[in-house]
Amino acid sequence: MNVAIVVFPGTNCELDTKYAYEKLGAKTNLVWHKEEKLPLDIDLVVLPGGFSYGDYLRSGAIAKFSPVMKSVIEFANSGGQVLGICNGFQILLELGLLPGAMKKNRNVHFISEFHYLKVENANNKFLQKLQVGDILNIPIAHGEGNYYIDDEGLKRLKDNGQILLSYCDEKGNISNPNGSVESIAGICNEQKNVFGLMPHPERAMEEILGSDDGVKMLQGFMGE
């Protein structure tokens, strides 16, 4: 498996993501945002976490204009698998590859902690190694993670099985750290090839670091 990891000025999770996928046996390519094209024979594009362009204007608002994004959009629109983690999720929203928008956290503070997630839909490539109702312990680290979508858009997400993950406590009860609509932590597009989540599975690869619950998440793209 060949993974392209796009790097912007201010990205700070590219090496975590590289480590995570190489640990799973994938080949990785760090792609600078000024490249015009993605490498050939890519199976997955990851937009990693961080603070692209210092989060000026809005998180992801400037990164969407980087030269490589035209190639990322073409890759996604042709059915290629794309994963946006934290700032990467914000960029996918700005691009319109995923529906909705991000606002500042409800408490207006940056949040950095482990938080439990519940799997809401596993009928997709990303979460195929998991089951609906599984509880995961994954780090979050964001200041603008308050996911918003209007009522009509929320209904479409539900009707199409696009809500993938929600914030919860260790027993699966709703525990919303940032104010996201219906405690949403991750979604996908209708075609189920573009995925975005605020939590950081690449930081949950080893029990010694607090959790290895990210392994099965990232393994989904690796196939059977």
Q: Which residue is associated with the tokens 């529906």?
A: 99
Gap between the Cα atoms of 34 and 43, Å rounded: 20
Structure confidence at residue 224 (pLDDT): 57
Domain residue ranges of the chain, discontinuous segments joined by +:
2-222
Q: Which residues of 146-156 are buried (b: 16+ CB within 10 A; e: fewer)?
A: bbebeeeebee
How far is residue 218 from each of residues 93, 201, 202, 205, measured CA to CA in Å?
21, 7, 8, 9
CATH class name, domain 2-222: alpha beta
Q: Taking all residues of the chain, what is their mean pLDDT, rounded to a whole number?
A: 96
Structure confidence at residue 95 (pLDDT): 96
**pLDDT tens digits along 75-122:** 999 999 999 999 999 999 999 999 999 999 999 999 999 999 999 999
Active site residues: 86, 200, 202
Which regions in the chain score pLDDT beneath 70?
224
